[in-house]
Amino acid sequence: MHHKLHTDAIEFLKNKVYLGSYDQAPENSSSFVYFTVEDALPYNAFHLDFGPLHIGHLYRFAVALHNILNDPKNSSKAVVFYSSSSAKARANAACILCCYLVLVQDWAPHQVLQPISQIQPPLMPFRDAGYSKADFELSIQDVVYGIWRAKERNMIDITNFNLEEYEQYERVDQGDFNLICDEFIAFASPRQSRPGAPLNQPFRKLLQYFVSHNVELVVRLNTHLYDKNEFEKRGIKHLDMIFEDGTCPTMELVQKFIGASETIISNGGKIAVHCKAGLGRTGCLIGAYLIYTHGFTANECIGYMRMMRPGMVVGPQQHWLYLHQNEFRDWRHTMVLDTEPDKSIGGLFPLIPLDAYKERRRQRRRMETERDNMDMNDADIPADESVEIPSMGGRRKVSTQLRQAASEAIPSDNPGQPRKYIGRNGRYTNSDEERDNEDDAPYTSTVGNNAISSSPRKEMTVFNENQENVVPVVDGDSDVFMGDKDFKVSTHSTRKTANHSSPTKHHRYPSQFYRRTTTTTKTTTTIASSPPPSRFAKKNGADSAIKGAKQRSISSTRSIKGGRVLSSEGIIGNPGVRKLSARRYES
C-alpha cells in the first residue's frame, strides 16, 4: 500500500499526477519528478490574450507526460506538472492538464474541475484577441466543457489527430487555416493583386488541400481580395455573405448560412469559411452552426473553437453569440430546411420558420382545391349536340394497381480586429495595424476597360448559378373533393432528387411534392399519378438520409504513442513556428 506523498502541489491522481506553481524551478527528488512546458510550448498572442493553449500544444503535452510516466527511472515517482507563479501561466497549466484528462483519460468535467475549484489565488479567466477592454471572460470550466461536449459529439478524436498537418497549415505561409471539426475549416482570406495573377504559395497550398479533402463550398465574409474563379474552376462552389469587419451578422444571414451548410454536409461535403483574418466573423457563423447542431453553450463553443484555432470570436461578437445562443438552439425545433432553392446563396436551401412553411403549404392546398373546382365547372358545360360523340361503352373498373399508384402519388403532411502579418524582420507576427504596403492594397478587378476596386462597405455580392429547382412539398392527410364525388385518399411520402437537393428521410425535412392531375369527362373520372417513390430512388441513387449526429466512440487506448512526434529536442520536440518565414509571399 502506497503512503500518501506530502507536497504543496494539487493532487489530481493520487501518488501519480500533481499540479504546482513555483517562483523557481524545483529539483527532482526521490519521490517527485518535475516538468513544465511553459518555455517549450508558448502561446502566440495576438494582443493581450494569453490562452488557452491550442490542440497541438495539448498533443505535445500528452506525449511529454506519457514519456515521463513510462520511463523506468520514474516508476516509483509521482509527476508534478508545474508552471511559474504568474497568473497567466497558472491558468494555462491548469487548463491544459484538465483538457488532457478529459480528452485522453476520459475523465468527466466535474472530476477534473474539483481539484482546482477552491485554488488560491483563483485562476485567471481567458480573454479575447481584440484590442478593446476585456468585457467577456472565458473560464477554464468553459473550455473543459467545450472540449468534453466536442468529444461526446465525436467532433474531436485525439488518437487520430494529425499534429504535423495541424502545425503546418496554421502557418501564414502554408495557408493559415485550421479544421474546427470534420465539416468546417476556418481560414484567413487569400490574396491576389488582380484577377488571373499568379498564385502565391499560401493560396496554392490552400487550393491543393481543399481539392484533396472534399471541400465543396467556400463562404467569403470580407471584401474581395482574390478572384473567386480560382475556387470555381476547381469545382468548389463560392458564396459571398459579406458583412463589415468587427460586426455581427443578421439573423437572416445566419439562417441562410446554416441552411446552405446543412445542404452541403448532407451530401457529404465540407465547408470552408473565411473573413480577413479568419477569426471574428468566421467564428460567429461557425459558432452559430455548432450551437444549432450540437447544443453547445456560447461559452463552451468559444472555448472549443479557440482550442482548435486561437483567437476566434472577438469583442462584441462574444456577447452576440451569448445573447442568441438560445435562439440558435430553438431553431433546431422551430425551423426547417426550405424546399425552394435561394438564388442569393447559389441555389442552396436556407432555413425558414416552420410556421411559414405550414402557411405556404395551406395556401398551396387551397390553390389546388380551387383548380379542381374550376376543372369540374368546365366539365358541366353542355356539349355541342351537333358534334357526334362516340360511345364510351360500359364503365371501366379501376384496378387495384391504379388505386395504389394514385394513393402513393399524393404527398404527406467591433473595435480593431487581430491580424497575422509578416513583420519587417521577416517574422510572422500579430497586430491590429493595417500595413501600408502592397499586401493591403484593395483587390482590383476589371469589367471591360473599367477598374473596380473592393470597398470595406461594399454591399453583399451574391453568387448566381443555374440550379435545378425543387418543387415544395406538402404533407399530412388530405381530403380531395371533386364535384359531387368524394375521394378520401391516404397519404404517402415520396421524393424526387435534384442537385444539392434538401436532405430527406428526416423528421425535419418534408418529402418532395408531386403534382396531381385530374381529367374529367361526362361519364368517367381518371386519376393519374407520378411514378411511385421507389422508382425515383433507384433511378437517382441518391442517399436520402441526412447525416445524423455521431454517437460517442470511446477508445480503449489510454495513452498516445509518442512515435508520431519525431524530434531530437528532448521530450517535447519541436513545437513548430506558427508565423515564422524568411520571406514574403507575393503574387
Phi (first) and psi of residue 202, to 5 degrees: -60, -40
d(CA 427, CA 142): 33
What distance separates the 2 farthest-apart alpha carbons in the chain? 118
Other Cβ atoms less than 10 A from the Cβ of 149: the count is: 21
Cβ partners under 8 Å of residue 330, min gap 6: none
Catalytic site includes residue 99: no
CA dihedral 350, 353, 355, 360 (to 10 degrees): -20
247 close to 222: Cβ distance less than 8 angstroms: no
d(CA 173, CA 225): 17
Helix/strand/coil (H/E/C) assignment for every residue in 241-259: CCCCCCCCCCHHHHHHHHH
17 close to 78: Cβ distance less than 8 angstroms: yes
d(CA 207, CA 417): 25
Cβ partners under 8 Å of residue 512, min gap 6: 339, 411, 470, 471, 473, 494, 495, 496, 504
136 close to 317: Cβ distance less than 8 angstroms: no
Give the type of residue at 485: K
453 close to 495: Cβ distance less than 8 angstroms: no
The crossing angle, in degrees rounded to 10, of helices 298-308 and 140-152 is 80
Pick the closest to residue 217 from 231, 206, 229, 204 (CA basis): 231
Pick the closest to residue 100 from 559, 462, 454 (CA basis): 559
Its sign, for the CA torsion 548, 552, 557, 563, is: positive
Buried b / exposed e across 485-497, counting CB within 10 Å, b at 16+? eeeebebebbbbb
Pick the closest to residue 83 from 17, 12, 22, 13 (CA basis): 22
Residue 565 cell numbers, joined? 512526434
Cβ partners under 8 Å of residue 76, min gap 6: none
Pick the closest to residue 506 from 263, 280, 226 (CA basis): 263
SS3 content of the chain, % helix, strand, coil (to 5): 35, 15, 50
Catalytic residue among 98, 99, 181, 275: 275
Q: Which helix (H) or strand (E) holds 527?
A: strand 525-528
Residue 256 cell numbers, joined? 441562410
What is the secondary structure of 117-154 as a DSSP string? TT-SSPPPPB--SSSS---S-B-HHHHHHHHHHHHHTT
What are the residue numbers of the active site? 275
